Amino acid sequence: MKSKIFYALSICNLLAFSFYLFSFSSNENTKVVDFQDKIIKVRGVVVVDSLGVERVIIGSHLPEPNLSTYGSRANSRNKVGVSGVMLYDAEGQERGGYVTDDYLGNAFLSLDSKNNMQLLLLSEPQGAAAIILNNHDRKNTITLSTSDENADVKLKQNDKNIKLYEKQ
């Protein structure tokens, strides 16, 4: 007899607790937010692949490059913060990006190998611009640059500067 009463009270207690638990959830509280006409403000977004490796970072004050194998790029940012979009390969190494620096406001577009910057497009806020193409060890380089005072083409082959024209 005691076990039947205990069993009945347990069932009643379970029903009362279930009613109590589900009474706080309603359809009014589970609204879906419509971001169609909204602006989302964030300091950064990180896109990862299926293995969790960071492949794209969009942000204000991007992290320093992965320096594990970058010898000549160890101090490439000179402790100046950059903001924008950085691209990384499957190993998490920086492979390029589109950024602006916080110090002078220069805009950069770069494509990198695993060891070096191969292509750099630079635009300064005052209007000067440059395109730099490098081979893997920077012994062969082509630089095109222009500013209000000058336009210049430089060629370096096997670490020797090649004279293309006479400066006027």
Q: Answer whether residue 23 is part of any domain.
A: no
Residue 132, CA atoms < 13 Å, CB-side half-sphere: 18
**Total-model pTM:** 0.68
* CB burial of residue 4 (10 Å; 0-12, 13-18, 19+): exposed
Is residue 75's pLDDT more than 50? no
Q: Answer whether residue 3 is part of any domain.
A: no
Q: Which domain holds residue 38?
A: 29-162
Q: How many domains does the chain have?
A: 1
pLDDT in tens, 112-154: 998 888 999 999 999 999 999 999 888 999 999 999 988 999 9
Q: Answer whether residue 9 is part of any domain.
A: no
- H or E segment at 156? strand 151-157
Extract the tokens encoding 68. 């594990």
In the chain, % of residues over pLDDT 70:
83
Q: Pick the residue with more confidence: 79 or 69?
A: 79
Is residue 102's pLDDT more than 50? yes
> Residue 89: CB partners within 8 Å, gap ≥ 6?
55, 95, 114
